[in-house]
Amino acid sequence: MNIKDIIANKISEIINSVYQIGEVKLEVQQNKSEFEGDFTVVTFPLVRLLKKSPDLIANELGGALTAETDFVQSYNVVKGFLNLKIENTFFLENFISIQENFSKKEGKNQTVMVEYSSPNTNKPLHLGHIRNNLLGYSVAQILEEDGYNVIKTQIINDRGIHICKSMLAWEKFGKSETPESTGIKGDKFVGNYYVEFDKKYKEEIEKLKIEGKDEAEAKKQAPSIIEAQEMLLNWEKGDEKVRNLWSEMNSWVYEGFSQTYQRLGVDFDQIQYESKTYLLGKDLIQEGLHKGVFYRKDDGSIWVDLTDEGLDEKLLLRSDGTSVYMTQDLGTAVERFKDNDIQKLIYTVGNEQDYHFQVLFKILKKLGYDWANQLYHLSYGMVELPDGKMKSREGTVVDADDLMQEMYETAKEKAQELGKLENLSDEDKESSYETVGIGALKYFMLKVDPKKKMLFNPKESIDFNGNTGPFIQYTYARIQSLLAKANFENKAISKNVSINESEKELIMELSNFKEVVSKAAETLSPAQVANYVYDLVKTYNSFYQNNPILILEDENDKQFRLELSDLTGKTIKKALALLGIGTVNRM
């Protein structure tokens, strides 16, 4: 519990004791005004209840707090606001409590599954995938820190018409080349053929339009799309040749994905494959049809009517028997709750799929699954660039690997300009460039509330000043340098140290950490942790600039400030770890 909450709870107890009006929670604010005192209590909510003036209430409360607590040193009242001066020992005891409980977690006895990434096996990961992966992974880390058991998962979209497009293009234009023979990373290699298919398809559409077909007819009658649809049908029938090609090309993609995930620093506890779960979805469709939840149209396609739910009619199975995304998602959800003892399932998917998840959750409720109420769509805004949106089919995406390499190179360039790593080995330098570069990318992505769309600017993200990852990492490195110079060792803190205003402010900021983590877990927003650690770093830097440490003659005060610095460093490191960001001891 943070310092403000401890004080607010005590005030609530005293209000009930003095006035017998039940529990009333007054707002306690950190006092940064010209008035004397560490905290200001807003008493106005009591005016209507007690029918007394704000000044009288504030004086009565101040007197009771001074008499009945050992942490209120004095108080004053200004225009109905109660200003409290808190004893130094209270801050000191609170700081020691934070130190002692820093690594403790209060278990929730609940398991949450977090799905993220879930790419298609027809193209490499891009900038949008980066936000998805970082958001999902960070939410999982935050939930675990808040005491939940967490299962990190993804569903690989490894089948469907888009996969067949890449396969067909490779058959036609590939000349038996492989990622190994070309030296191209597997996911990029397959993605190139997806782009090739689209080029050929567009040429065919234009030719048909010249022959007199309208746009819609041309798209349906283009030879390439007809061949891709036939390949999908053959895949679903289990055609050996198609399945072998599918298996080989997917293996190339998986190897490429693995390299990207490793560099991005994300991982998974479980992986599912659409090629297996879509069959479960088909079984569910038949079950729903039998129960009368779904209906069949004259062409043989199967639908669900959700108009009474404020939605519309949704296709679940095509007339040719092939499935749609919804089929797969139904099967996947059922399998997850069947195979795992989970209490909640979170889908990390962009906001362009908001409607899809509304429909998914409604269908599962109609099918009678009680756990459908524990499904949550963590919807997030798209990432845009200064020069517009990305298009996979046209090959104009910002490749995830290229972006990470650019971040690494920018960090290297900045570090060489500053010249602070010259005494490190080449291996340590490379590790530092990587940690700072990828950390800058992650922090820039996660400091923005998930619901907001964002504009990503690589150069702005790696600035060593302002609300950036490198700025925070630099403060951590500064603290480690300070502790190393002081030959710091954890020791018991003397009760005789005097605590000044900047030290109190830092202690109060440190006391907020666990509450911030809980709020971030509740709202599924890593931005709360990112903005907290930025505020903590600013508070520490102000403390550092205004309070000498190494030159202090009083050993008790010196040790206390070193302990403050040490706990700040640990908190920065843990907060960054919740964002998937590493630290370095030198920058």
Angle between helices 325-339 and 274-291 (to 10 degrees): 90
DSSP state of 373: G
The residues of the chain scoring below 50 in pLDDT are 389-395
Q: Do the beta carbons of residue 331 and residue 286 sit within 8 Å?
A: no
Q: Residue 74's beta-bridge partner residues?
A: 85
Which tokens is 449 given? 């509330």
CA dist., res. 445 & res. 439, Å (int): 10
Quick check: 421 and 395 in contact, CB under 8 A? no
**Helix %, strand %, coil % of the chain (to 5):** 60, 10, 30
Q: Transcribe 241-257 into DSSP letters.
A: HHHHHHHHHHHHHHHHH
Average pLDDT, the chain: 93
* Per-residue three-class SS string for 205-228: HHHHHHCCCCHHHHHHHCHHHHHH
Tell me where in the chain the CATH 1.10.730.10 domain(s) lie: 400-578
HSE value, Cβ hemisphere, 13 Å, CA-based, for 577: 10
Tokens of residue 6, six digits: 């401890």
Burial class (CB in 10 A: 0-12, 13-18, 19+), 374: middle
Report the C-alpha gap between 406 and 459 in whole angstroms.
10
pLDDT for the residue 328: 87
Q: What residue ranges of the chain are covered by domains with CATH 3.40.50.620?
A: 117-384
> By the 8 A CB rule, do 415 and 587 touch?
yes
* Angstrom distance (rounded) from CA 507 to CA 511: 6
**Which phi-psi region, left, alpha or beta, contains residue 395 (left: φ > 0; alpha: ψ -120 to 50)?**
left
Q: Pairing state of beta strands 39-42 and 28-30? A: antiparallel
Which two three-digit tokens encode residue 353?
């799929």
Total-model pTM? 0.91
Q: What is the largest CA-CA distance in the chain?
A: 94
Give residue 389's pLDDT: 47
Query: Residue 391: what pLDDT?
Result: 45
Helix (H) or strand (E) holding 543: helix 526-546
What is the rounded CA–CA span in Å between residue 369 and residue 345? 13
Q: Token pair for residue 382?
A: 């798209």
Query: Thinking of the domain 117-384, which architecture would CATH place it in?
Result: 3-Layer(aba) Sandwich (3.40)
Cα 454 from chain centroid (whole Å): 14
Residues whose CB falls within 8 Å of the CB of residue 222, separated by 6 or more in sequence, listed in order:
201, 204, 205, 208
Please list, in sequence order, all residues whose beta carbon lies within 8 angstroms of the beta carbon of residue 533, skipping any fewer than 6 positions away: 472, 571, 572, 575, 576, 579
Separation of alpha carbons 150 and 250, rounded Å: 28
Assess contact for 450 and 135: CB atoms under 8 A.
yes
Give CA–CA dist 309/316, Å, rounded.
Answer: 17
- The C-alpha atoms of residue 572 and residue 587 are separated, in whole angstroms, by 15
Q: Which fold has domain 3-86?
A: Gyrase A; domain 2 (3.30.1360)
70: which 2 tokens?
A: 């050992």
Spatial contact of 241 and 231, defined as CB atoms under 8 Å apart: no
Q: How far is CA 274 from the centre of its chain?
A: 24
- Residue written as tokens 């990318």? 441
378-109-531-133 Cα dihedral, nearest 10 degrees: -40
* 167 and 249 Cβ atoms separated by less than 8 Å: yes
Supply the pLDDT for residue 33.
Answer: 59
Angle in degrees, CA 130, 132, 137, rounded to 5 = 95
Domain 400-578 has CATH 3.50.30.10: no
Q: How far are the Cα atoms of 481, 483, 545 from residue 550, in angstroms, in the given order?
A: 12, 9, 12
Task: Give residue-wise pLDDT tens across range 453-484.
Answer: 888 887 788 888 889 999 999 999 999 999 99
Q: What is the pLDDT of residue 393?
A: 44
Using CA atoms, how far apart are residues 363 and 313, in angstroms rounded to an integer?
A: 11
